[in-house]
A and B are shown apart, each in its own frame.
Chain A
């Protein structure tokens, strides 16, 4: 089954993979200040119409991921739009796969975070992101580079909802993060990167 066909119900039914809502990040939320370049870029990009998933990805999501990439140079890499076929029942394309940087041009273990872009509500992407995270967990295991937990995020560019896979359970964060609250959003993403030094 393609990742995009997964719902939280199907994850439960097919892999007995349950989910729960919980606080994923320690409170108070960590704050990471955005760079001047990021602020400038977002100020320009807000002029564009973001009615498509492609536009949201290019104008709102990629600038955030790139900021994270530039803050942590050499630590991780970003695979965008790659096919990620792990088993017969877990396959398809992933919007963004974050994995430890080893100069590979093919998706390589260990993967520690999946980001799924949605044009509308982030709820639509929860099952899909959960399936991708579970697939990444299996993929890492098989490569002999187990990672736990594995993080995920579903975003429509404006809202970000984080997930965590650990102990055969998908956790969905209680809170949402927002593009309009950049320090907290970047802080959450930096926390994820810091888990994998």
Chain B
């Protein structure tokens, strides 16, 4: 089944991955100020008509991930739009995979975070993101680069929800960040990067 066909129900039924809503992000939320360039870029980009998943990815999501990358260079890399076929049940394209092996050309273990872009409601992407996170966990296992916690986030460019896969369970954080909380959003993304050393 392609990742995009997964719902939270099929993830439980077919992969035995259950989920729970819980606050796993420590409070108060960590904050990280955006660079002048990022703040300006997002202000300018917001002038554009952003009605498609493609435009939201290019003009709202990518700039944030790039900032994260730049601040941590060269700790990780971003695979954008790569196919990620892990087994006969878990396959398809992932919007963004964050991997800890910089400068690799093909998707390499370990993968520590999955970012799923949606054009509309984030709820639509929870099952898909969970399936990709579980697949990343299996992929890391197979590559003998075990990562115990895999993070995920579903975003439509404006809202961001964070997920965590750990010990056969998918956790969905109760908090929803918005683009207006950019320092908290960047801080949380930095926490995700820091989780993998």
Q: Scan residues 100-156 of chain A and give those whose CB is less than 8 A from a CB of chain B.
A: 104-106
Query: Measured between alpha carbons, how far is A49 from B84 in the docked complex, in Å?
Result: 14
Q: Is A29 an interface residue (CB 8 A)?
A: no
Query: Measured between alpha carbons, how far is A53 from B83 in the docked complex, in Å?
Result: 11
Query: Measured between alpha carbons, how far is A41 from B73 in the docked complex, in Å?
Result: 13
Determine how close the nearest CB of chain A comes to the CB of B43; give it in whole angstroms: 11
* Chain A contact residue count (CB 8 A cutoff): 30
Determine how close the nearest CB of chain B comes to the CB of A116; give it in whole angstroms: 13
Residues in A neighbouring B80, C-beta threshold 8 A: 48, 52, 54-55, 58-59
Q: Is A62 an interface residue (CB 8 A)?
A: yes
Given contacts A51-B82, A51-B105, A55-B81, contact A62 B52 (CB under 8 A): no
Determine how close the nearest CB of chain B comes to the CB of A48; give it in whole angstroms: 6
Decide: B58 and A47 in contact? CB cutoff 8 A: no
Q: Scan residues 21-54 of chain B and give those whose CB is less than 8 A from a CB of chain A.
A: 37, 41, 44-45, 47-54
Decide: B73 and A49 in contact? CB cutoff 8 A: no
Residues in A neighbouring B102, C-beta threshold 8 A: 47
Of A41, A49, A53, A70, the contact of B66 (CB 8 Å cutoff): A41
Query: Measured between alpha carbons, how far is A70 from B40 in the docked complex, in Å?
Result: 11
Q: Is A39 an interface residue (CB 8 A)?
A: no
* Chain A interfacial positions (CB closer than 8 Å to B): 37, 40-41, 44-45, 47-49, 51-55, 57-59, 62, 66, 69-70, 77-82, 95, 104-106
* Chain B interfacial positions (CB closer than 8 Å to A): 37, 41, 44-45, 47-55, 57-59, 62, 66, 69-70, 73-74, 77-82, 95, 102-106
- CB pairs A–B below 8 angstroms (21 shown): A37-B37, A44-B69, A44-B70, A44-B73, A47-B73, A49-B79, A52-B81, A54-B57, A54-B81, A54-B95, A55-B79, A55-B82, A62-B62, A69-B44, A70-B44, A80-B48, A80-B50, A81-B53, A82-B52, A105-B49, A106-B51
